[in-house]
Chain A
């Protein structure tokens, strides 16, 4: 079955420190992977995606993610966290079984960056 796992409900980071938000996936076929961010009472904002090519993907607001096929992971990273990065982050994978355009979301990880 196709699925996405975000093992951490919350990640706490001090401002200026590097951050990592973890995501692992299980899909049939080639994975199309996405990261989205959600601020309170707002919709999802696209951060970055991996379709093919370089395993290190750079996205919006200084975020990047590394696709690791052997570990089936797509962790989100940022070298230096900002307080304004505090939000809810979702990893998603394209559902190649039920529908080419459907997304399966992870449970979400709340990032808290402390001053």
Chain B
């Protein structure tokens, strides 16, 4: 099946710094990628929809200036957490839609655990 990778798999940073997380579709082109956040023992919450070549669409309550999303190519989307704070510590998961598959099925990356000290 389609493979989605994320880098890094985990990151620890100091409060106030920025962190970039990459999401790549390895063997397919993805015009649309999604970014989710998952807190411990909770479900996935959609943060934003990333479309190649255009601005991301953010869900209500998600600060677009804090969570910068860039979808520069058909295989790469990046999420930058700017001026990170401890409350941003979470598990971030991306997914990508394979336009070649049926019903535009989402394929999920392995996730990135962010810890802000």
Chain A residues within CB distance 8 Å of chain B? 32, 36, 41-46, 49, 51, 90, 99-103, 105-108
Contacts and interface: CB of A to CB of B under 8 A. Distances in A.
Contact of A44 (B1, B6, B44, B104): B44
Contacts of A43: 4, 6, 93, 108-111
Given A46-B107, A103-B34, A105-B44, 12 more contacts: A36-B108, A41-B91, A43-B4, A43-B93, A43-B111, A44-B95, A101-B97, A101-B106, A102-B49, A103-B46, A105-B43, A108-B42
- Chain A interface SS verdict (over half): loop
Interface in B11-42: 32, 34, 41-42
- Chain B interface SS verdict (over half): strand
B43 A107 contact: yes
A32 B103 contact: yes
Nearest to B32: A101
A106 B45 CA distance: 10
Nearest to A88: B41
Interface string B75-99: 0000000000000000101010100
B63 interface: no
A39 to B, nearest CB: 10
A101 B44 contact: no
A102 B108 contact: no
A105 B95 CA distance: 14
Nearest to A90: B43
A100 B106 CA distance: 12
A105 B106 CA distance: 13
A24 to B, nearest CB: 15
B113 interface: yes
Contacts of A51: 102-103
A46 B34 CA distance: 16
